[in-house]
Amino acid sequence: MGSGTMNSGGDPNEALYRDKSFLGHPKGLLTVCVKNLCSSFAYYGFTAVLIYYLYTEVSKGGLGLEKTEAAQLLSLYFALIVVCGVVGSYMSDRVFGVRKSLRIVVTIGPLPYIILAIPGSGLIGYAAAMGIHLIGSMVAGQAMTALTGKLYAKGDERRDGAFSYVYVISNIGAAIPSISGTVALLFGYHAAFALSAAAAVVGSAYYLLVERKVFGTIGEEPDDPMPPAARKRAVYILIAAVVITAVTLYLLFSRHIITITTFANTVSTVAIFLPVVYFICVITSPKTRPEEKQHILFLLPMFIAYCFTLLISYQGQTILSIYAETSVDLNLFGVQITPAAFQTLQAVCSVILGTLMATLWAALGKKQPSTPAKMGIGTICYGLAILIMIAPFQIYAPDDKASPLWLVGFYVVMTVGEAICYPAGTSAATAVAPLAFSTQMMTIWFMGQSTGASLCALVANFYKEGAEIPYFVSMGIPVVAVGLLVLLFSRRLAKGMGLGAETASE
């Protein structure tokens, strides 16, 4: 549901739906891939060095925060960007339409990186940059993902492959962290942020130049439009809410009424339960048809697995990023690397493994595992990845530098899981999305990211040096168990989601 519909009665977009000019897919997919390539180049280059920028001393070009505060702030950002996407997907579905939402967000998209690239921007610049990122999320949410889904009719076997291509090409851009890390080391953090700004500008310019040609009228109108007067009122309310929130937070922090830790813990706790509320709203809505409600209910186990996988993923960007800088020998095969290079490794693995998975599913055709089975297998890989990190804490003394190969193993195994889970989960969410909630359903799905990030921010409170083994075990075992359960019931889940005709049985 929520995809484009091919009508035989003169649909002006019919040629676009049938188009196979880009690797057997519509040429609109090329535009999505190029935009995601540039966006991931900017985003990953920025996030790879952000945690170090946050806790590096001011005299050395950073903001001078505590390491635990830096980890919590980064996890909180990952959570809020998705939570704000709830508003953005609602605005996309009911006010703007996915195309107008995307025009707005790609126009303001480069601004956060440009602000961070300004020397001396400090905490005010950081807050402004993060604020603009969140505003963009509140305007568009998962509009790009929804637009990708709209290129395909329900039952089109190219859907899984499309999201695999998006995943792979996006991760080519995600290979930037080693470059941005080196730039930050040689020229400072602001130079690394300037590199991200340049990529964001290129991606936005390209999208704005070609989008009308490659998408036709697909997604121009909201799927569930409000009356015109109500649309204007919704925009005014959004603007007022942003201003009030910004002023309130400034007063609370400037007067030391709240701290970073209390703010992170409070917001993270609330964010964990938001997807539950949203799922209930969609399922109980009179706009959701009975068969659509059933499909969503059977999607829930996959969503729970997705949340657990993101808990593991964000460990790599927070706790394990700090571990890479403080406790790992950064000489890899005779080459001195930056801590951010491990995220480049993940991106390279994503490209290679994502390509292999897309090729494998295409070769297997109807013999490939069902979508839920893929999710179960991938989730198990995430759990095994974090369990790998038990070994270096058993082998090395606290003052010894660990071999970087342990982190390499973590990222490789985790990326195997990601290459399987991301396309499968995203494809399933677009396939079961009710017509009235096509974009919002994608936001609910990606709220698994906010739940995972929120869990990461909360469990960071329990991370103690010397107690790493129980910390990793307490995450790894439950994640493996969840993956096994989804795999065990995958056939029933596929049937309940109405995917029986679209995916092969196991």
| Rounded-to-integer distance, Cα 1 and Cα 154, Å | 6
Q: 335 pairs with which residues across the strands? A: 332
Asked whether the predicted pLDDT for residue 468 surpasses 90, the reply is no
Instruction: Tell me what pLDDT residue 155 has.
Output: 66
Kindly report the pTM of this predicted structure.
0.70
Q: What is the mean pLDDT of the chain?
A: 83
Q: What digits encode the pLDDT tens for the residues 19-53?
A: 777 777 888 888 888 888 898 889 888 888 888 88
Q: Which of 48-62, 275-289, 441-455 has the highest mean pLDDT?
A: 275-289
The 3-class SS string of 351-420 reads HHHHHHHHHHHHHHHHHCCCHHHHHHHHHHHHHHHHHHCHHHHHHCCCCCCECCHHHHHHHHHHHHHHHH
The domains of the chain are located at: 14-224+256-496
Instruction: Tell me what pLDDT residue 154 has.
Output: 67
Q: 402 pairs with which residues across the strands? A: 328
| Amino acid in position 100 | K
Q: Which of 91-95, 148-152, 489-493 has the highest mean pLDDT?
A: 489-493
Dihedral angle over CA of 80, 86, 92, 93, nearest 10: 170
Domain spanning 14-224+256-496: which superfamily? MFS general substrate transporter like domains (1.20.1250.20)
Strands 335-336, 331-332: pairing kind: antiparallel
Residue 153 DSSP SS3? coil
Asked whether the predicted pLDDT for residue 75 surpasses 50, the reply is yes
Instruction: Tell me what pLDDT residue 355 has.
Output: 80
Sign of CA dihedral 418, 423, 424, 426: positive
Which of 349, 308, 353, 344 minimizes the C-alpha distance to 324? 344
Q: Return the number of other C-beta atoms located less than 10 Å from residue 469's C-beta.
A: 13
Asked whether the predicted pLDDT for residue 466 surpasses 80, the reply is no
Q: 331 pairs with which residues across the strands? A: 336
Q: Token digits for 36?
A: 């995601």
Instruction: Tell me what pLDDT residue 175 has.
Output: 67
Token pair 């519909």 is found at 5
